[in-house]
Amino acid sequence: MTKKIYFTFDGKKYSGIEGDTLASALIRNGVFVIGRSFKYHRPRGVISAGCEEPNGIVQLETGNITEPNVRATEIELYEGLKAFSQNNWPNVNFDIGSINDLLSRFIPAGFYYKTFMWPKKFWEKYEFFIRKAAGLGKSPTADDPDKYEHFHYHCDLLIIGGGASGLYAAKLAKNSNLKILLIEQNSQLGGEHLSKQNSDKDSPLFKKLEKLNNSSNLKILKNTTVFAYMHSNYLLASQKINKKNLRQVIWKIRAKKVVLATGSIERFLTFNNNDRPGIILANSARKYINYYSNKIGKEIVIFTNNDSAYKTALDFHLKNVIVKAIVDVRKGSDGDLVKKAKELGIKIFFNSAIINTEGRKRINKVFISKLDGNFKKLIGNPEKILCDLLCVSGGWTPNVNLFSQSRGKLVYRESDATFIPNKSFQEEISIGSCNGTFNLDEILEETYDKMKKLLDGFGEKIDEKYKENTEKIFQDKMQHIWIVPTNKNFSKTKMFVDFQNDVTAKDIKLALQEGYKSIEHIKRYTTTGMATDQGKISNINAQGIISDLSGVPINELGTTTFRLPYTPVSFGAMAGRNIKEFFDVERTTPMHQWHINHGAKFEDVGQWKRAWYYPKDNEDMSQAVNREVAATRRGIGILDASTLGKIDIKGKDSSEFLNRVYTNSWSKLAVEKCRYGLMLGDDGMVIDDGVTTRISENHYIMTTTTGGAASVMSKLEDWLQTEWPDLKVYLTSVTEQFATISLNGPFANDLMKKLYPNFDFSKENFPHMSFKAVESDGIVCRIMRISFTGEMCYEINVPSSYAKDLWEKCFKLGKEYNITPYGTEAMHVLRAEKGFIIVGQETDGSVTPIDLDMNWIVSKNKYDFIGKRALSRSDTIKEDRKQLVGILTKDPNEILEEGAQLVESISALPMTMVGHITSSYYSPNLGRSIALALVRGGLKKKGGKLFAPMPKKTIEVKITDPVFIDPSNNRLTA
Amino acid sequence: MHKKPKKYSVFSLIRNAVSYHENWQPVWRSPEPKKEYDAIIIGGGGHGLTTAYYLAKNHGLTNIAVIEKGWIGGGNTGRNTTIIRSNYLWDQSAALYEHALKLWEGMSQELNYNVMFSQRGVMNVAHNLHDVRELKRRWHANRLNDIDCEWLNREQVKEFCPIINTSPNIRYPVMGATLQRRAGTARHDAVAWGYARGADAMGVDIIQNCEVTNINVKNGQVTGIESTKGSINSKRVGVVTAGHTSVIANMVGIRLPLESRPLQALVSEPVKPVIDTVVMSNTIHAYVSQSDKGELVIGAGTDGYTSYSQRGGFNIVEDTINAVVELFPLFSRMKMLRHWGGIVDICPDASPIVSKTHIKGLYFNCGWGTGGFKATPGSGWVFAHTIANDEPHKLNAPFTINRFSSGELVDEHGAAAVAH
Ligand SMILES: Cc1cc2nc3c(=O)[nH]c(=O)nc-3n(C[C@H](O)[C@H](O)[C@H](O)COP(=O)(O)OP(=O)(O)OC[C@H]3O[C@@H](n4cnc5c(N)ncnc54)[C@H](O)[C@@H]3O)c2cc1C
């Protein structure tokens, strides 16, 4: 006894059996209306049994695990499953929206381009309703509780598809030394074979193939869909796991060879009212009755243009379902299956077509008419036949989606109107029905031959060829018929092509008539093929119809591009673990925990977490910052500067290299000396700055800005590798190898003496802008006397692992100087008081060194440096460029907003802006606010007045020098 | 002369419904190229079509052809994420994009073709102090340039777009945003089709499936083009070929400061309305809006390398999805339906080139890179002016090729730091 599984659909309880999909379970319960179509809200049931399903899509589950637009044909039933129909109100059986069906005459393809334009202001109101009407399911409203993973996999052979050809290919390769991965989108291997009736499944071949199992060199993934075929045989697959802690996995696969065995998809036929619930693809109906043992209909009719649908007739007959008629477009067929049907006495209407159907919520009758010899006209009166299921087959479409994604070229085969693989672009082969090979004996032959060649290429031996005779079934030719003739005015018919988007044959006609002739225009104008099934069933029919109506042969229309993903992939799976705590690495310094312990607030600078300020007791931010700033100028301020980029430069051409990348000259810099440098882009604009130290003759260490470290490093490498390969220079990023402790303030020197009692810290031995390597406790510390605060300052660089100890030692020994940790905010205030720039704040990619009043740093003698030429262009030499100045507000308590714009006079909008505030702070040392700005012609306007017009008030300001403290550098060089 | 197209309206829809839509006219003709035109526009994207439209409409030049190698709108015009805004930092850009925005506001009526310009606002989100400073700078500049722009703090962001994750505990928390309410999105195909219909009605020949293979120049003067449909003469040729501009420039030996790079985008499956604005985050790189059809429209960043293949690396798409899920955790169970790429032409200063050249009668309109859709009508307007008068319009005067030698760059990279 198979296990019963209970589930609900639209709140009503049903039961299915183990192995059912939601679709088969609903059918088992006689539920045929599963959803409503996008535009006309026509009742719809499933028409397939797989991922090509356009109609049977539901909202699965509720709350934070709800998922919209899930294909009922792909959901494996589980206990307690809750599904809901979509796109209807108040319910799927009575849907107000279906009024659109009655009004369909007024809303043809693209109608929205022609209306909703009056009155002009009303578009938003129309749009509100259009939006409400559009969309299918509903987005979840809460966080996803599930997890997703990414796995990487390398293999020799990736076989995609676990049908006859794929399985046989795996078997043939299995005894080789190759590492093989076989991927099947369904929960069971077998592909087409699963649709067969049981007695057919007993074939010895399939018994063998079904036994294929994971082994040392073969891995089989089921429930997994390859959705993208990228360059260099890089493929992506999405696996459904549906376990508590893991919902889906994305496999990132790199394969030496790919075997595409992706099968084919049955086609529909385009006739009037071909969309009623109970009209289904013939082979899918067969799968429901055979594989799912599901009595899908009692009295069936079959409509076909080929032999394959006769299998459905025969199988239904075998299950004692009444096959009332087979309606066959062709004039006849000598196929074996047809013969058999005849023998069984099944009524066959040759050279006929179904021209209409009836039954709103389930089909109840069809109208059959005779066709003329060209299949274009109807002859005589239609005959009515009652039925509750109509199985349709319009032939088969090789599933070339992945082949096409791989950039392989297709060729059109007239005989069965298929596009099949022609020229490969990557290392791949196509076998079986995705290659247009439909008969089992031929498939096996082809698979063997192609696999032999492929394995030969690897120098591997192939397994024995399958020898037993597979039954040869002769199938006669199909007759393609893109539009089934109608006895109605064509413009009044409803012949659906794209079911989900409600695109009909007459919509395509309208598009053509209106001049949308390119296939892409038609697709976009009518939306055919753009629904969630991506036109797996409809695209070829749309092409055929266009060809029929326009007279352009189908192979000259060109196909629309197959785009990834093959089937939709969840965002959660694509994101994998790269969200929340793993969204982006968090870079922290060795002192990070200390900062946390001391109550630091942090600021994100690039990926770094930098201590922003350290509030004490109940201090707010400004109180804390003021305290930190004042303490630095009076005692010692200590800063964790470890985040600054550090690049180790070695090699005999290092000086020359620096000459080229910085504006100033480096050749004469003495060993153990430091120099500040500005780096420009080739447009002459400042892109980075920092101090570089000459450690020995051919060894420098460069510091960059925190945010610029990575990009500077790659720029330098870029120049070295592509422009100056002749220079002997070697770069190593050592940002994380060294931590930097910056000691600032009038007592910095005293603390240094205590830290390194055996070293001479006199001004003479260790002046400003110099370097010493000093040993302490057995560790070599690289100490630079440089300053970003305007105070006497020592920057101690130690290997990161020692930094925290040294940091704590500084506090112990510095207590008497009121050593105070300061964060980036205080650092900004201190440097602004001194008029030092921050690249990226005072500069924005449009600022030259001259604009910064740093003419002194631009060498006039050097032959060249990056950006040199750009500095003498007509615009860069203009005198009234925006230049760096200081700004003081008239009201000393007014702190300007950074980013505020400056004007010379207040006028009506628009106002002419002459610059903007780049930095602005309260300066506790000056007891007032200060700011830096870029102002047009500012250098010549010092003392002048400007205004900052803010939303609620206008602030008057004065232009000043940007150096607010110690212009003569007494403190710095003390 | 071509006869004026029948007007579209509810009434014409009803009237045509009665005749079962059998009487609608073609939106544009499909003529064979003439021997000679007064002007040839290469490239039937939005910018090329608007150029033709305004040449005819504003300058009375109707004997012109738009030559398109594929189907009109099939380039970046039909591949973009349709974000339209004018809140650019620099005066020059702001003026040009604002001119375009004003044209957007009347476009459906002007063209009698509904381009579904939806002013649902564009929000640029700040995630760190640097972002806040830069976005506020832009906000103040926009205000003084009389371009609507507001600053929203975190709470206001949440109120305006409730589904955005404003938790202070995420990796890069939302710290505020600018909002331009007049900004929004439009239906890209409709823009191409609407302008094509309008241009065609004034006599412009739209020639599809015709690739330009060479440009003929004699004594420093353009004389016409070679194409897959033969030679066509004209003394004025405007090149509007986006990602393939350098290919055309190469035909006449001009080297433009352009890089052509893949830019990718994707949509989700359609769902009922869930996000009612456009959210852009440059720092974590997520751009999201929802189309009228219900699909989430998501834009990624450019790939790091140059290429003419309309396909980028999947890692770029992944990064974008990470950011989207980070900012909108509720989208985790939604699914990517369709993905594609375009080739964008990027200038070193991230601003366009709309310019004359040293060859008389040869004009370039390019460099719109990742963000030119919003400029479509404005770009055509000023380019038409440039071609008709052999002089730039005052709005595109700052965007000449010469700025790369003079240094008068309009650097929207560092400044606005927002790509689309
Ligand atoms: C994924 C993506 C997202 C984007 N998102 C936005 C956004 O949100 N907002 C925004 O404002 N912008 C965006 N853009 C940028 C925007 O799409 C473009 O800047 C704009 O559409 C360019 O229009 P165009 O008419 O110049 O180019 P296109 O539309 O590319 O037109 C150029 C045409 O020239 C044709 N052509 C090329 N060579 C030849 C030849 N030899 N002969 C004849 N014809 C030729 C091409 O076939 C093409 O049709 C995005 C771009 C992409 C790719």
Question: Which structure tokens are listed for A132?
Answer: 């409400």
- Phi and psi of B262, rounded to 5°? -70, 140
Cα nearest neighbour of A518 on chain B: B71
Q: How do residues A442-498 score in pLDDT, each as one tens digit? A: 999 999 999 999 999 999 999 988 877 767 889 999 999 999 999 999 999 999 999
Which has the higher per-residue pLDDT, B305 or B373? B373
For A565-579, what is the HEC assignment? CCCCEEHHHHHCCCC
3-state secondary structure of A851: coil
CATH number at residue A310: 3.50.50.60
**What pLDDT score does A100 carry?**
85
Chain-chain contact of A136 with B271 (C-beta, under 8 angstroms): yes
* Mean pLDDT, chain A, integer: 95
Reference A375, options A476, A478, A301, A479; nearest CA is A479
Q: Which amino acid is at A304?
A: T
Phi and psi at residue B266, to the nearest 5° = -155, 160
What percent of the residues of chain B are helix, what percent strand, and what percent coil, each to the nearest 5?
35, 25, 40
pLDDT at residue A786, rounded to an integer = 96
Per-residue pLDDT at A104 = 86
Position A589 pLDDT exceeds 90:
yes
Q: Please give the full DSSP string across A773-801, using - where no structure is assigned.
A: EEEETTEEEEEEE--SSSS-EEEEEEEHH
Beta strands in A296-436 (DSSP E): 299-304, 322-328, 348-349, 352-358, 365-371, 378-386, 389-393, 396-398, 409-413, 418-423, 428-430
What is the spatial distance between Cα A137 and Cα A339, in angstroms, rounded to a whole number?
A: 46
What pLDDT is attached to residue B417? 42
Q: Is A856 helix (H, G, I), strand (E, B) or coil?
A: helix
Query: What SS3 class is residue A922?
Result: strand
Amino acid letter, A805: D
Domain count, chain A: 7
A126 is a domain residue = no
Q: What are phi and psi of A13, to 5 degrees?
A: -85, 135
Has residue A715 been placed in a domain?
Answer: yes
| CATH number of the domain encompassing residue A961 | 2.40.30.110
Does A138 sit within 8 Å of B274, measured CB to CB? yes
What span, in angstroms and rounded, lies between the C-alpha atoms of A210 and A648?
Answer: 61
Half-sphere exposure of residue B312: CA atoms within 13 angstroms, side-chain side: 28
Indicate whether A585 belongs to any domain.
no
Which residues in chain B are closer than 8 Å to A579, comparing Cβ atoms? 322, 325-326, 329
Amino acid letter, A574: M
Strand arrangement, sheet containing A738-744: A770-776, A779-785, A793-799, A738-744, A637-640, A820-821
pLDDT of amino acid A618? 94
Q: Does A507 score more than 60 pLDDT?
A: yes
H/E stretch holding A521 = helix A519-526
Strand partners for B205: B65
Q: Which residues contact A290 (CB under 8 A, 6 or more apart)?
A: A194, A195, A196, A197, A198, A315
Q: Quick check: A540 and A529 in contact, CB under 8 A?
A: no
Q: Phi and psi (nearest 5°) for A805? A: -60, -45
The answer to whether the Cβ–Cβ distance between B118 and A139 falls below 8 Å is: no
Residue B416 has pLDDT above 70, yes or no: no
Residue A592: both structure tokens together: 């990070």
Q: What number is the average pLDDT over the span A568-591?
A: 96
Residue A264 to residue B375: CA distance in whole angstroms: 44
Both A295 and A431 in one domain: the answer is: no
pLDDT for position A827: 98
Residue type, B115: V
A135 located within any domain: no
Same structural domain for residues A425 and A385?
no
**Per-residue confidence at B288, pLDDT binned at 50, 70, 90?**
very high
> What CATH number is associated with residue A816?
3.30.1360.120
User: Is B43 close to ligand 1, i.e. is its CB under 6 Å away?
Assistant: yes
Residue B1 has a CB neighbour count (10 Å cut-off) of 7
Q: Would you state the structure tokens that stand for residue A505, as one six-digit string?
A: 């044959």
Return the DSSP state at A144: -
Chain B residues near residue A847 by CB distance under 8 angstroms: none
A622 part of a folded domain = yes
Q: For residues A421 and A294, state if they share a domain.
A: no
Same-domain pairing of A756 and A797: yes
Residues A755 and A815 occupy one common structural domain: yes
Average pLDDT score over residue span A385-401: 97
Handedness of CA A465, A469, A471, A473 (dihedral sign): positive
- Residue A219 confidence (pLDDT): 96
Residue closest to B209 by CA, chosen among B112, B324, B66 = B66
* C-alpha distance from residue A750 to each of A633, A765, A775, A802, B23 (Å): 14, 15, 17, 22, 94
User: E strands within B190-277?
Assistant: 205-207, 212-218, 221-227, 230-233, 237-239, 259-268
- Nearest CA residue ID for atom 2, ligand 1: B80
Q: What is the rounded CA–CA span in Å between residue A891 and residue A676?
A: 35
- The string of pLDDT tens digits covering residues A787-833 is 999 999 999 999 999 999 999 999 999 999 999 999 999 999 999 99
Evaluate whether residue A639 is within a structural domain.
Answer: yes
Q: What is the pLDDT of residues A843-882, one digit of tens each?
A: 999 999 999 999 999 999 999 999 999 999 999 999 999 9
**Among candidate residues A514, A541, A574, the one where a domain is terminated:** A574
pLDDT of residue A96: 84
A332-345: pLDDT as tens digits = 999 999 999 999 99
pLDDT at A102: 83
Q: How far is the CA of B303 from the centre of ligand 1 (A)?
A: 16
Residue B74 CA, closest ligand 1 atom number = 49
> A826 and A625 in contact (C-beta within 8 Å)?
yes
Pocket test for ligand 1, best of B76, B97, B195, B226 (most atoms within 8 A of CB): B76
Q: Which amino acid is at B100?
A: A
**Are A220 and A319 contained in the same domain?**
no
- pLDDT for res B193: 98
Q: What is the pLDDT of residue B418?
A: 45
Higher pLDDT, B178 or A1: B178
Residue B354, helix vs strand vs coil: strand
Cα B158 off chain centre by: 29
Q: What are phi and psi of B376, to 5 degrees?
A: -40, -55
* Among A574, A879, A919, the residue to mutate for chain B (most B Cβ within 10 A): A574
For strand A12-17 and strand A43-44, is the pairing parallel, antiparallel, or unpaired? unpaired
Q: Binning pLDDT at 50, 70 and 90, where does residue B415 land?
A: very low
Confidence of residue B78 (pLDDT cuts 50, 70, 90): very high
Which residues, other chains included, contact B176 with Cβ-Cβ below 8 Å and sequence gap of 6+? B125, B126, B132, B135, B151, B152, B153, B154, B157
User: Residue A122 pLDDT more than 90?
Assistant: no
pLDDT confidence of B420, banded at 50, 70, 90? low
Q: Which of A438-442, B103-107, B326-330 shows the lowest mean pLDDT across its residues?
A: A438-442
> How confident is the model at residue A244, as a pLDDT?
83
Of chain A, the end-to-end C-alpha distance in Å amounts to: 94
- Tell me: the pLDDT tens digits for A693-706? 999 999 999 999 99
SS3 (DSSP) at A764: coil
| Candidates B29, B114, B313; nearest CB to A112 | B114
Q: How far is CA B193 from CA A113, B8, B171, in A?
A: 10, 14, 43
Give the torsion sign (CA, B332, B334, B340, B345): negative
Res A266: pLDDT = 97
Structure tokens belonging to residue A16 = 């299915």
Same domain flag for A706 and A852 = yes
Letter for the amino acid at A438?
F
Tell me the CA–centroid distance for residue B79 and ligand 1, in Å.
Answer: 7
Which positions 322-381 of B are in contact with A (Cβ < 8 Å)? 322-326, 329-340, 348-349
Atom number in ligand 1 closest to CA B342:
53
Q: Rounded CA gap, A919 and A832, in Å?
A: 8
**Residue owning tokens 């509750």:** A388
The pLDDT of residue A325: 98
Handedness of CA A841, A842, A843, A846 (dihedral sign): positive
Whether A452 contacts A460, CB under 8 Å: no
Contact at 8 Å (CB) between A145 and A77? no
Interatomic CA distance for residues B66 and A897, integer angstroms: 49
- Note whether residue A477 is domain-resident: no
The answer to whether residues A701 and A665 belong to one domain is: yes
Query: Are residues A750 and A622 part of one domain?
Result: yes
pLDDT, tens only, A255-269: 999 999 999 999 999
- Dihedral angle sign, alpha carbons of residues A705, A710, A716, A718: negative
The helix/strand/coil state of A506 is helix
Tokens encoding B245: 């501009």
Q: How far apart are CA A46 and CA A32, in angstroms?
A: 7
**CATH at residue A35:** 3.10.20.440
Range of the domain at A97: 4-104
pLDDT at B6: 82
Provide the pLDDT for residue A43: 94
Please check whether residues A285 and A380 belong to one and the same domain: yes
Closest CA to A745 of A788, A704, A706, A808: A788
- Whether residue A406 contacts residue B311, with contact meaning beta carbons closer than 8 Å, is answered with no
Does A466 fall in a domain?
no
Element (H, E) at A264: strand A264-266
What is the maximum span of chain A, computed from C-alpha positions, in angstroms? Answer: 115
Q: What is the mean pLDDT of residues B285-300?
A: 95
Q: What average pLDDT does the segment B215-232 reach?
A: 98
- Give the percent of chain A with pLDDT over 90: 88
Same-domain status, A921 and A970: yes
Q: What is the CA A261 to chain-centroid distance, rounded?
A: 27
What's the mean pLDDT in B110-131? 96
- Nearest atom in ligand 1 to B72's CA: 49
Q: What are phi and psi of A919, to 5 degrees?
A: -145, 145
Residue A387 CB: number of other CB atoms within 10 A?
A: 24
What is residue A212's predicted lDDT score, i.e. its pLDDT? 79
Mutate to test the interface with A, among B332, B339, B404 (most CBs of A within 10 A): B332
* Per-residue model confidence (pLDDT) at position A1: 57
* Residues A100 and A249 reside in one and the same domain: no
